[in-house]
Structure 1
Amino acid sequence: MSVPVAASGRRWQTWALAVIEVFVAYQAISGGVGLITDTWKLPTAWLARTPFDTWVGPGWILIGLVAVPQLLAAVPQLFLPRRPGLGVLAGLLAGANLLIWIILQLAVLQIYFFLQPVIAGFGVVEIGLALWWRARLRRSQFAA
């Protein structure tokens, strides 16, 4: 059975993973800016268990701890096609980072927000795609 491979040698899992990472990064930047500018008018009471009085700090943290790692994870997939192992590792770490982010968010804020399971779902999908990509790479190495 052949594996669909783009002309550059990248598998569809590579492209799907990169698209998700860039999408999550874009959403995290948008969310961070929304928090910084107080666009959503979230209750500051939610910050009671944090060192913050406003949403500015959490907005910058969202950008730094979610958007930046997601963008960095997309780099090997988009620009280093000859380093698939690095792309797989980046995808695994990006997905794990999202899961850790949500777990910490729930633990610190102790507030449920409807986007938390959605974001965790993206993390699970990233991990799944990276593992699938790794399995395809291993099969192609043994077939060669």
Structure 2
Amino acid sequence: MSVSPGIRVTLAVVALFNLASAVAGCVLLVLVGGDRVGMPPEWLERTPFSSWVWPGLILGVIVGGSQLLAIIAQRERCAVAWGLHAASGLVMMIWIFVEIALLLVWSPLHGIYFATGLLQTVLAVLALGAWPRPFLARMPRRSRIGRGNTADTSA
């Protein structure tokens, strides 16, 4: 199945943006420290973490790593690329959801990253063939046999 160039390019750009953001977040949280980049230690009180190191590593390895795998798979034209993009988008959305739920803090950046995860997931599902062609085509009527009735074969 052929995927439109627009979907391919958009998926690559979104994945690269998400990867760069995850790596930057990882570096800031692990090396600089969340408290030095505007994330007070009090936010960690509602989490299982005592420092920003583990959240930073999870962000870099899990969120960033899933994006990197999707990018590599797409570049190498692997059949699993679109599935990896869908999974990476879901990982991004789950990360944002859990972050908001644990920290009880919302920022416009949360909305941006949730939107990029959603966009990546939707485009990947479309790349997997979930878009009917033509879009407004009607589905064929099912036969009576298809509705659970049996055909009368007696003559």
**Superposition TM-score, scaled by structure 2 size:** 0.73
Q: How many residues align?
A: 129
Structure 2 portions without partners, runs of 5+:
134-155
Change (3 A) 1:135 1:34: same
| Residue 25 in structure 1 maps to residue 19 in structure 2 | yes
Structure 1 portions without partners, runs of 5+:
6-10, 140-144
Tell me how far 1:20 sits from its aligned partner: 1.2
**Which structure shows the higher helix fraction?**
1
| Residue 133 in structure 1 maps to residue 127 in structure 2 | yes
**Superposition TM-score, scaled by structure 1 size:** 0.78
Higher Cα Rg: structure 1 or 2? 2
| Residue 71 in structure 1 maps to residue 68 in structure 2 | yes
Structure with the greater relative contact order (CA < 8 A, sep ≥ 6): 1 or 2? 1
Q: Within 5 Å, which residues of 2 pair with 1:95-110?
A: 95-110=89-104
Give the Cα–Cα distance (whole angstroms) in 2 for the partners of residues 57 and 136 of structure 1.
Answer: 37
1:59 corresponds in structure 2 to 56
Give the Cα–Cα distance (whole angstroms) in 2 for the partners of residues 134 and 76 of structure 1.
Answer: 14
Match among 105, 112, 115 for residue 109 of structure 2 = 115
Give the Cα–Cα distance (whole angstroms) in 2 for the partners of residues 54 and 138 of structure 1.
Answer: 48
RMSD over aligned Cα atoms: 2.3
Give the Cα–Cα distance (whole angstroms) in 1 for the partners of residues 54 and 91 of structure 2.
Answer: 19
Give the Cα–Cα distance (whole angstroms) in 2 for the partners of residues 90 and 138 of structure 1.
Answer: 22
Give the Cα–Cα distance (whole angstroms) in 2 for the partners of residues 4 and 113 of structure 1.
Answer: 34
Tell me how far 1:137 sits from its aligned partner: 8.9
